[in-house]
Structure 1
Amino acid sequence: MDPLFMAYSFFRRRKYEPCVELCTNLLEKNPYDQAAWSLKTRALTEQVLVDEVENEEEGIAEMLMDDNAIAQVARPGTSLKKPGTSSNGPSQGVRPMSQSGRPLSGFVRPGTQGGRPGTMDQALKTPRTASTARPVTSASGRYVRLGTASMLSNPDGPFINLGRLNFGKYAQRPNLAKSLFEYILHHENDVRNALELAAAATEACQYKDWWWKVQLGKCYYRLGMYRESERQLKSALKEQDVIDTYLYLCKNYKRLDQPLAAIEYYKQGLEKFPGEVSLLLGIARIHEALNDNVESLKMYKEVLHHDNMNVEAIASIATNHFYSDQPEIALKFYRRLLQMGVYNSELFTNLGLCCFYAQQYDMTLTCFERALTMATDENAADIWYNVGHVALGIGDMNLAYQCFRLAISASNDHPEAYNNLGVLELRKGHIEQARAFFQSAQSMAPHMFEPHYNFAQLSDKVGDLQSSYNAVNKAKEAFPDHADSKDLFKQLKHHFAML
């Protein structure tokens, strides 16, 4: 059988390593075989290719040295960095909050679990989530012509020596230029050379190829030149309406902290592609990031109208119902995920909590047992923390204390567990132990209001009014709408006035 045909077969079946080996053997026999060279570049690219449409986590430099924002103090509801503190829907005060002040999403995706830290220490603790891999979307043809000397592969060095390439010559050959560009950008991660090739190819096609304009937008985005990226992507949309172009452009606006502009372009995309799930999800995510839970829930339901198997929409709707005091409805959605084949410890934990709050106690422990059997090092602490809450609900304080201790042993930087241990110690009358737990929770999660409020109550109890006043001030900053914090603050102000 023809080795090149076998290599194409491996490529179509996503078996990239044997495809690369066959192409390497062909190039050893004929270093100028353009078909084998192009196929090898594509196979090497597909091994490392990720879906760039999804928003990636921001790095420490972007978080702490972001100079792209137009306004330092944005109006409420117009910035992702400072979302509103209240929602249009039911009270979300009991919902866990991220460091940026927005409720945690019901579905883990890049950019949802970590906030925007204010210090370098907090930035280093921000969790990271990898993007998902993109499947093969196209197949290449065979173009057998003699190549140039720059196509020679050196077995002792890199496959392609980028320093020897004449980008102007490759720009005249679209079939080779596109695979070479993706190899340079994704495999070699050489954005500047990729930008040079894309600019030469755009000029060679007389600025009429939308694909090259999108690639220029990608390169500018990676270099942090967001306005140049915006211009290229808008120009590409004038040439051709493509869903990915709308998604890239909206991603650009999110990085510029212009969520309303992103929503506008998502809606423009929906006019061209009605019912497109990726565009609907983008709108729902932005509303969720802005704490507009009513609009977010509405868009997630619209997603299910077009794709009733969308895991993200089902999980997000279930989370909204759970924190809106509707555990029975949330339980139906989580059971739907279980029927669809989603089988992990997080889902069983959520099922257990829904069963507990829906008073289906017989299923609660069974779900948590299943969750603990599938627990990993990353989520074991959260599972034990939730089991501790169930123990508190049934009045077993000793079991709750043990569960929170197990949560800390699984992850020693779990602020919620430290805070609850402080409350249990305070109920036992152990003032110093409670103070230590509250201070630990404060240092780990300055964005949470509970440790500050509890520390203020403890300090007020022992007569340290100044510490209590400072702590409740921090609690008000973390959650300005919390009624108990306001009442305690007024009480302390009255004490100081009396003094």
Structure 2
Amino acid sequence: MGLKMEPLLLAWSYFRHRKFQLCADLCMQMLEKSPYDQAAWILKARALNEVVYIDEIDVGQEGIAGMILNKNAQVPRPGTSLKLPGSNQTGGPSPAVRPITQAGIPITGFLRPSVQSGRPSTMEQAIRTPRTAYTAYPIASSSGRFFRLVMALFEYIFHHENDVKTAVDLAALSTEHSQYKDWWWKVQIGECYYRLGMYLEAEKQCKSALKQQEMVDTLLYLAKVYISLDQPVTALNLFKQGLDKFPGEVTLLCGIARIYEEMNNISSTTEYHKEVLKQDNTQVEATACTGSNHFYSDQPEVALRFYRRFLQMGVYNSQLFNNLGICCFYAQQYDMTLTSFERALSLAENEEEVAEVWHNLGHVAVGIGDTNLAHQCFRLGLVNSNNHAETHNNLAVLEMWKGHVKHMGDLQRSYIAAQKSQAAFPDHLGT
């Protein structure tokens, strides 16, 4: 007969295996029998927080105050703002024109939470801020248990319940109780202020926390405040000062690379991504962005080396084989092109991923001069995802090209496809 595990140990096992809902349910059963079980209470709060976890540092969601500030801001000088980035510094021919937004920012090679969520376009979207979470830090003191309970309560209120007002009140009381000597609570107050759009107050709290204790996460939060204030140069200087204190810190190097990428300074972005890979050659973001940059710089064979590194790291998904397929085609490794796309189609988990594969297959068909096959591939892509902007755009170009060749084609279909592309992705520039 097997031994029965203690409920608390079983709940902790669920938590370690990222089965957070099972962990929370088991903790609830324990709390029904013993309402004052502090261990079960803390574990349940942590499990519920992990269910909605998104790294707060990576999220650049703007609130209502940020939208108003941006609307009333004056036009900055090029190279000093993320709203008006500098000109692209990469030159030379390219196997495929790198897509950019209307602001002139190149599409990144790595999907981040901030890229995925995007800037809220309406006040209603800004009010409905997504739930996020923050990593807890242990502290050591004579009243450590009390502080751990308060920290767990704060994280639950702030991240899971999204009640920022109550959270900031609790953080303020805790800061006062610690006689304003606890840097962690100051960072939490700053994060509450940031969520409320009070960026200047958030800056003061983060700076005060840095004076007491220099921490990498505090630097990252303060840089996020400067980014929201559209002060990328200040954020860059902060990161570089942080590197003096924490040499070779990967998160700081990645932060610098991201800002340069947003400012369309691709050469500096590549330089810092390579520095990241020197420190950690398995860093996913730097590997993906470096591979993407080599591809759009007419070096698909070099890009292949970076994407194949993901295979060595155990990554096996549709996006990776889709990138491998298009790189193999432009690197003239035709024996692997269709095989990679076949695997990409077989591993696709949703219709959007299938549409991406057919979109690249359409490019391959255009490359070999088979416009009929390209037309069919783009149509198959739209069957799976009718809102795929790039496919609509390329289909419009294809229809227009066919119309000019035949001196008669239906240019109206090209115009309709272009309109659909603009409607699906209004912030994207067609090529």
Task: Describe the shift of the 1:24–1:73 C-alpha distance in structure 2 as closer, same or farther (beyond 3 A).
Answer: same
Give matches, 1:177-256, under 5 Å.
177-256=150-229
Q: Distance in 2 between matches of 1:412 and 1:425?
A: 17
CA contact (8 A) 1:233 1:245 kept: yes
Correspondence 1:291 to 2:233: no
The counterpart of 1:384, out of the listed 352, 358, 361, is 358
Q: Which runs of 5+ in 2 are unaligned?
A: none
CA contact (8 A) 1:104 1:112 kept: no
Q: Which runs of 5+ in 1 are unaligned?
A: 125-129, 146-172, 452-499
Q: Distance in 2 between matches of 1:423 and 1:47?
A: 44
Task: Describe the shift of the 1:69–1:302 C-alpha distance in structure 2 as closer, same or farther (beyond 3 A).
Answer: farther
Task: Describe the shift of the 1:347–1:269 C-alpha distance in structure 2 as closer, same or farther (beyond 3 A).
Answer: same
Deviation of 1:302 after TM superposition, in Å, equals: 0.3
Q: Which region of structure 1 is more displaced relative to structure 2, 421-430 or 347-356? A: 421-430
Q: Distance in 2 between matches of 1:19 and 1:439?
A: 49
CA contact (8 A) 1:56 1:131 kept: no
Deviation of 1:182 after TM superposition, in Å, equals: 1.4
Deviation of 1:82 after TM superposition, in Å, equals: 2.2
Output one character per residue of 1:468-491: Cα deviation in whole Å (capped at 9) or x when no partner: xxxxxxxxxxxxxxxxxxxxxxxx
Output one character per residue of 1:448-472: Cα deviation in whole Å (capped at 9) or x when no partner: 5547xxxxxxxxxxxxxxxxxxxxx
The answer for the alignment partner of 1:77 in structure 2 is 79
Q: Distance in 1 between matches of 2:18 and 2:390?
A: 44
TM-score, normalized by length of structure 2?
0.85
Q: Distance in 2 between matches of 1:28 and 1:447?
A: 51
Give matches, 1:447-466, under 5 Å.
447-450=427-430
Task: Describe the shift of the 1:227–1:320 C-alpha distance in structure 2 as closer, same or farther (beyond 3 A).
Answer: same
Q: Distance in 2 between matches of 1:442 and 1:27?
A: 54
The answer for the alignment partner of 2:415 in structure 1 is 435
Q: Distance in 2 between matches of 1:355 and 1:333?
A: 13
Output one character per residue of 1:175-197: Cα deviation in whole Å (capped at 9) or x when no partner: 43222211211222211111111
Q: Distance in 2 between matches of 1:40 and 1:70?
A: 44
The answer for the alignment partner of 2:370 in structure 1 is 396
The counterpart of 1:108, out of the listed 107, 111, 116, is 111
Task: Describe the shift of the 1:392–1:25 C-alpha distance in structure 2 as closer, same or farther (beyond 3 A).
Answer: closer
The answer for the alignment partner of 1:487 in structure 2 is none
Give matches, 1:83-94, under 5 Å.
83-87=85-89, 94=97
Q: Which region of structure 1 is more displaced relative to structure 2, 297-306 or 187-196? A: 187-196
Task: Describe the shift of the 1:106–1:317 C-alpha distance in structure 2 as closer, same or farther (beyond 3 A).
Answer: same
Q: Distance in 2 between matches of 1:399 and 1:424?
A: 11
Residue type of the alignment partner of 1:208? K
Correspondence 1:312 to 2:308: no
Larger Rg over CA atoms: 1
The answer for the alignment partner of 2:321 in structure 1 is 348
Deviation of 1:20 after TM superposition, in Å, equals: 4.2
Correspondence 1:174 to 2:161: no
Output one character per residue of 1:72-96: Cα deviation in whole Å (capped at 9) or x when no partner: 2011011112222422555789101
- Work out which structure has the larger RCO, using CA pairs closer than 8 Å and 6 or more positions apart in sequence: 2
Q: Secondary structure at the match of 1:416?
A: helix
Task: Describe the shift of the 1:99–1:345 C-alpha distance in structure 2 as closer, same or farther (beyond 3 A).
Answer: farther
Q: Secondary structure at the match of 1:105?
A: coil
CA contact (8 A) 2:49 2:156 kept: yes
The answer for the alignment partner of 1:53 in structure 2 is 57
Task: Describe the shift of the 1:398–1:296 C-alpha distance in structure 2 as closer, same or farther (beyond 3 A).
Answer: same
Q: Distance in 1 between matches of 2:335 and 2:20?
A: 49
CA contact (8 A) 1:181 1:198 kept: yes
Output one character per residue of 1:8-40: Cα deviation in whole Å (capped at 9) or x when no partner: 565566555555455445544554444544444
Q: Distance in 2 between matches of 1:414 and 1:13?
A: 36
Q: Secondary structure at the match of 1:299?
A: helix
Q: Secondary structure at the match of 1:79?
A: coil
CA contact (8 A) 1:54 1:131 kept: no
TM-score, normalized by length of structure 1?
0.74
Deviation of 1:110 after TM superposition, in Å, equals: 2.0
Deviation of 1:277 after TM superposition, in Å, equals: 0.7
Deviation of 1:221 after TM superposition, in Å, equals: 0.9
RMSD: 3.4
CA contact (8 A) 1:105 1:113 kept: no
Deviation of 1:134 after TM superposition, in Å, equals: 7.4
Q: Secondary structure at the match of 2:421?
A: helix
Deviation of 1:69 after TM superposition, in Å, equals: 7.5
Correspondence 1:421 to 2:395: yes
